[in-house]
Amino acid sequence: MTTAILPKVPVIRRGFRLQFEPVQNCHVLLYPEGMIKLNDSASEIFQQIDGSRSVGQIIVALRERFPDAPGIDEDILAFMEVASAQFWIELR
Residues that bind other proteins (CB under 8 A): 13-15, 17, 19, 21, 23-24, 28, 30-35, 87
Spatial CB neighbours of 2, under 8 Å, sequence gap ≥ 6: 77, 81
Residue number with CB closer to other proteins (13 or 53): 13
Residue 57: CB minimum distance to other proteins, A: 25
Strand-pair partners of 72:
none
Residue number with CB closer to other proteins (15 or 51): 15
Residue 10: CB minimum distance to other proteins, A: 15
Residue 61: CB minimum distance to other proteins, A: 26
Residue number with CB closer to other proteins (25 or 68): 25
DSSP at 53? S
Residue type, 90: E
Residue 47: CB minimum distance to other proteins, A: 16
First-last CA distance in the chain? 18
Among candidates 52, 58, 54, 51, which has minimal Cα distance to 11?
Answer: 51
